[in-house]
């Protein structure tokens, strides 16, 4: 309910197009309270892409872009996390992103927003934001010409995670 996986691309160099994946799952596994050893995993159902424009969403699902008939999921699993900023709540996370049948190593920024007790469940929860830029052409998603749609795609994942 308080989590979202979004993306932003630039259209013809001067306007942003926003979208999201409505179905996804994410987990964080850590043995340390500061999450300095955290492992992040994410799986998104690409068929749930939503840009609020049906014609564009249908095109994104087609073989022109994601080809969801062949590649219905996107996954990410971190392989390392480091604090290179000197700030206790900011990390760089590196991991394997698989999309469109291609796996590449990517590095993203993670902002650890803290922990608190959830008022309703009385369970501890932690808040995170993951943000980074990927090149869609590295994954053969969409046309290679960046004129209409930028090859740079900003990925943002916001989430609240309950301690298990």
Give the model confidence (pLDDT) of 108-122 as tens digits: 999 999 889 988 889
Quote the distance between the C-alpha of residue 13 and its chain's center: 22
Backbone angles phi, psi at 58, to 5 degrees: -65, -40
Neighbour-count burial for 113-151, b at 16+ CB within 10 Å, e otherwise: eeeeeeeeeeeebbbbebebebebbebebbeeebeebbb
CA distance 7 to 18: 6
- pLDDT at residue 127 in the model: 93
- Residue reference for tokens 């990927």: 134
pLDDT surpasses 90 at 104: yes
List Cα–Cα distances, 69 to 17, 73, 109, 135, 140, in angstroms.
24, 10, 31, 22, 15
Dihedral sign from CA coordinates of 25, 42, 75, 48:
positive
If you average pLDDT over every residue of the chain, what do you get? 93
Split into its structural domains, the chain has a count of 1
CA distance 126 to 29: 12
- pLDDT at residue 33 in the model: 81
Q: How confident is the model at residue 163 (pLDDT cuts 50, 70, 90)?
A: confident
pLDDT surpasses 90 at 137: yes
Domain enclosing residue 99, as ranges: 4-162
CA distance 31 to 38: 7
CATH of the domain at 116: 2.40.128.110
Backbone angles phi, psi at 147, to 5 degrees: -60, -55
| pTM of the predicted protein model | 0.92
Non-local (6+) Cβ contacts of 72 within 8 A are 45, 46, 47
């Amino acid at each position: 309910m308080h989590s979202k996986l979004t993306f932003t691309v630039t259209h013809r160099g001067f306007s942003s197009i926003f979208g999201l994946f409505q179905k996804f799952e994410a987990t964080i596994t850590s043995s340390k309270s500061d999450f300095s050893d955290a492992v992040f995993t994410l799986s998104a159902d690409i068929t749930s892409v939503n840009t609020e424009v049906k014609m564009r969403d249908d095109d994104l699902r087609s073989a022109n872009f994601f080809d969801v008939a062949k590649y219905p999921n996107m996954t990410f699993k971190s392989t390392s996390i480091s604090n290179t900023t000197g700030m206790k709540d900011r990390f760089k996370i590196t991991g394997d992103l698989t999309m469109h049948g291609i796996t590449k190593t990517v590095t993203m920024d993670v902002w650890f927003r803290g922990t608190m007790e959830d008022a309703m469940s009385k369970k501890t929860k932690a808040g995170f934001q993951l943000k980074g830029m990927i090149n869609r052409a590295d994954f053969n998603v969409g046309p290679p010409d960046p004129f209409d749609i930028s090859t740079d795609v900003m990925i943002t994942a916001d989430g609240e995670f309950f301690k298990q």
